[in-house]
Amino acid sequence: MAAASPPPLLLRLLTLALALAGATAGKISGPRTPISRDIYHSSDSLLREIKALVARHSDKLSMDTIRTSNKGYSVELFVVTFNHLKENMDNGSKVHILLSFGQHGRELITSEVALHLLYILTEKPKIAGVDLSSFEKLLENLVIKVVPMENMNGRKRVEEGELCDRRNGRGVDLNRNWSVDWGMKEKDYDPYEENPGIAPFSEPEAQIMRELSRSFKPHIWVNVHSGMEALFMPYDHKNTTPNGASAHLMRSVLENLNRRHFQDSCLVGSGGGSVGYLAHGTTTDYMYDIAKVPMPFTFEIYGDEKASTDDCFKMFNPVDKKTFDRVINKWCMAFLILFEEGLRNLRDAQIVSQVTLENWVPIGGDIVERNVERKSSRDTRKLEGLDLGMQELRTYFRLFLLSTFLLMFMFCTRISKNRNRDSGNLFDP
């Protein structure tokens, strides 16, 4: 007698259980490398060290602390300014450089490069035994603003154990929150990793960085990331580079840097054409298309291709002291060469222009506070909070009033002409 077959419902349950077991087995990840606390600073200790450095070198460094709050989400952002001769007025001849590190929380190595670069600019003018005194004259021609940890809240989540998290404190990818091609999604779009936010500039971090770019008007912008080694120029959201003289200028700087320092080992080109995927709403594309920065770049400074995709700390950061030091030294020197190449090319192209350095006001939070930590007599000042878009609304209102006045003027003029014509007709023979 043949054995009875299992009921259909039981068969379906067994099939589902086997499928779930297989899926779970496929997702079992290997060991995850923890943060190398012996060689990496915590966000708090890194900040303390930067503050101490600023205090020791108040003749060259100053630091702004910007705190904003938006719908219950609070952000703190630090901007360190290097000006080799602070007593000299910037008459427009200096090149303005804006560097952002740590936009993605899991990329700790980028903020370490920021710290060491500040040391090199002030009290440790050597890299791996190489004397950098020849760069002193170069630095007199630059004003450099460094944002060591753009995504402080996201960084703290990583330090608490979320080693794969690149987003900010409320789950938004800050490098997808800018307005150029915002919200577009590719077929491989990952809503967890690439959440662009509810609108362009919905995040306070992006709002502050936008206002900083508007007020400082950089000639060179670098967004520093890790995950591979590359020197990128726009665009990220399409598989092409810009046309014309500006594109030639950017490519020339990157190719010279790659040849001089990396022996042509770095990937050079557009982010969208080189990485293998398109990214929409990125900072660098905004800096080029909207802010009109002559040289906006994205640098990828490290990546472990052999690391498991689940082992995020190892994938994005060196885990041993020898590799850590090599990456730090290599990319600090790369920035110095970038400064040299950028200055020469900008002056050859006669791009350096007048800009305003002081009194910039970040817009977009419910509360905006600016603390200027300097050794001079300037006191801490509180800035009035401004609603997002208030300046734009005022502009539109003025235009509306102007257009209304013009329409009324035209209407009254037309009526006056008609009345004069009618009066003339009464006395015609």
**pLDDT value, residue 109:** 98
Assess whether pLDDT exceeds 60 at residue 304: yes
**pLDDT value, residue 257:** 97
The neighbour count for residue 91, using CB atoms within 10 Å, is 7
pLDDT in tens, 374-419: 333 343 333 333 333 444 455 555 666 666 766 776 766 766 666 6
**pLDDT value, residue 416:** 64
**pLDDT value, residue 365:** 36
Phi, psi of 372 (to 5 degrees): -100, 110
Length of the chain: 429
373 beta partners: 63
**pLDDT value, residue 60:** 94
Q: Is 9 in a helix, a strand, or coil?
A: helix
The neighbour count for residue 26, using CB atoms within 10 Å, is 7
**pLDDT value, residue 48:** 98
Q: Which residue has the higher pLDDT, 62 or 359?
A: 62
**pLDDT value, residue 135:** 85
**Among 357, 210, 350, which residue's Cα sits nearest to residue 287?**
210
Query: Distance between CA atoms of 345 and 324, rounded to whole angstroms?
Result: 31
Q: Which residue has the higher pLDDT, 332 or 129?
A: 332
The structure tokens listed for 157 are: 């989540």
Q: Which residues are catalytic?
A: 300
Assess whether pLDDT exceeds 90 at residue 268: yes
**pLDDT value, residue 398:** 60
Pairing of strands 367-373, 381-382: antiparallel
pTM: 0.77
Q: Which residue has the higher pLDDT, 290 or 416?
A: 290
Query: Distance between CA atoms of 180 and 178, rounded to whole angstroms?
Result: 6
Query: Distance between CA atoms of 255 and 266, rounded to whole angstroms?
Result: 9
Assess whether pLDDT exceeds 70 at residue 89: no
**Among 399, 369, 396, 401, which residue's Cα sits nearest to residue 384?**
369
Q: How far is CA 176 from CA 103, 185, 198, 273, in A?
A: 11, 10, 11, 17
Phi, psi of 273 (to 5 degrees): -90, -10
- Per-residue pLDDT, averaged over 171-199, amounts to 95
Across 289-412, the runs of DSSP E, i.e. the strands, are 295-302, 367-373, 381-382
The structure tokens listed for 265 are: 């080992």
Ordered by where they begin, the domains of the chain are 43-353 (3.40.630.10)
**Among 200, 171, 174, 205, which residue's Cα sits nearest to residue 77?**
205
**pLDDT value, residue 27:** 43
CB 217 within 8 A of CB 355: yes
- Per-residue pLDDT, averaged over 293-322, amounts to 97
The structure tokens listed for 108 are: 């700790």
pLDDT in tens, 339-362: 999 999 998 888 874 333 333 333
**pLDDT value, residue 417:** 60
Pairing of strands 295-302, 381-382: unpaired
Label residue 10 by pLDDT band (50, 70, 90). very low
62 beta partners: 81
Residue 67 has what DSSP assignment?
A: E
**pLDDT value, residue 387:** 38
Assess whether pLDDT exceeds 50 at residue 100: yes
Query: Distance between CA atoms of 226 and 121, rounded to whole angstroms?
Result: 22
Q: Could you tell me the sign of the dihedral formed by the alpha carbons of 363, 58, 46, 309, in that order?
A: positive
Query: Distance between CA atoms of 379 and 159, rounded to whole angstroms?
Result: 33
**Among 66, 8, 1, 74, which residue's Cα sits nearest to residue 362?**
66
Please provide the DSSP assignment of 207-221 as one string.
Answer: HHHHHHHHHH--SEE
Share of the chain above pLDDT 90, in %: 64
